[in-house]
């Protein structure tokens, strides 16, 4: 007997297919997370495998279709919570982010010295363990910095207001004095929310500095 619309038997197959598709997607994302954790475990606190691997890692994190971009699509991350005590522990994180966005939003110059100065200013906001060698800094320039220069305005509701970005989600949701890393996913007009990761840097008084970026 043919199933009628609204009959559970009619809807079970599409629903089952959708569930299986979602499970497969979750498995892919879990595999990507495992790869990242495995690489970090090989050399805690430093880019695994030396300069070449560090440069490749920087390129992968900046690549729109790479690991970081896939992880940005995770809908399972909890939504950001508003602070309850009137003092937002994310203030220092947002100060660093606004400084980075302000540098990236500066008009492009035909003067190489001006452009080099902007890159050096950006480099000063990068974690000490993610810079310091010609190969790593060349990768940062080619991928993280230039990509951000091209894309910065897709994250701003008002192109003239550096603070007009929206955080779709953040990981972790809340910061404590012991939190070492945080990742913010910024809404964009032409792509899925993209992450920028920050980490406390002991070389500059434990201030927040950029560790990874896929903006």
**Two tokens, residue 16:** 């089952």
113 or 52: which carries more pLDDT confidence? 113
Whether the per-residue pLDDT at 39 is higher than 50: the answer is no
In whole angstroms, give the CA distance from residue 121 to residue 100. 9
Question: What stretches of 20-113 adopt beta strand conformation (E)?
Answer: none
In whole angstroms, give the CA distance from residue 191 to residue 185. 12
Q: What pairs with residue 210 in β-bridges?
A: 126, 198
Taking only the tens place, the pLDDT of each residue in 121-169 is 999 999 999 998 999 999 899 889 999 999 999 999 998 899 999 999 9
Taking only the tens place, the pLDDT of each residue in 108-126 is 999 999 999 999 999 999 9
Q: Are 130 and 123 in contact (CB under 8 A)?
A: no
Q: Which helix (H) or strand (E) holds 41?
A: helix 8-42
What does the angle CA 37 – CA 132 – CA 43 come to, to the nearest 5 degrees? 25
70 or 85: which carries more pLDDT confidence? 85
Would you place residue 66 in the very low, low, confident or very high pLDDT band (cuts 50, 70, 90)?
A: very low
Taking only the tens place, the pLDDT of each residue in 164-193 is 999 999 999 999 889 999 999 999 999 999
Whether the per-residue pLDDT at 20 is higher than 60: the answer is no
**Two tokens, residue 83:** 């602070």
In whole angstroms, give the CA distance from residue 14 to residue 21. 11
Q: Where are the alpha helices (DSSP H) in the chain?
A: 8-42, 50-62, 67-72, 91-104, 112-123, 134-139, 146-151
């Amino acid at each position: 007997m043919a199933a009628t619309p609204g009959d559970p038997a009619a809807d079970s197959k599409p629903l089952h297919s959708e569930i299986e598709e979602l499970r497969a997607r979750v498995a892919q994302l879990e595999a990507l997370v495992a790869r990242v954790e495995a690489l970090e475990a090989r050399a805690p606190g430093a880019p695994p495998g030396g300069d070449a691997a560090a440069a490749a890692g920087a390129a992968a994190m900046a690549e729109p279709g790479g690991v970081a971009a896939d992880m940005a699509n995770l809908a399972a991350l909890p939504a950001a919570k508003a602070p309850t005590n009137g003092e937002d522990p994310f203030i220092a994180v947002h100060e660093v982010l606004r400084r980075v966005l302000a540098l990236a939003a500066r008009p492009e110059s035909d003067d190489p010295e001006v452009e080099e100065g902007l890159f050096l200013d950006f480099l000063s906001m990068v974690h000490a363990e993610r810079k310091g060698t010609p190969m790593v800094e060349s990768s940062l320039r080619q991928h993280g910095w230039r990509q951000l220069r091209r894309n910065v305005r897709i994250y701003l509701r008002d192109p003239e207001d550096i603070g007009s970005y929206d955080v779709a989600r953040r990981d972790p949701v809340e910061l404590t004095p012991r939190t070492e890393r945080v990742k913010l996913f910024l809404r964009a007009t032409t792509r899925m929310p993209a992450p920028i990761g920050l980490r406390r840097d002991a070389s500059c008084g434990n201030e927040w500095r950029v560790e990874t970026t896929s903006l």
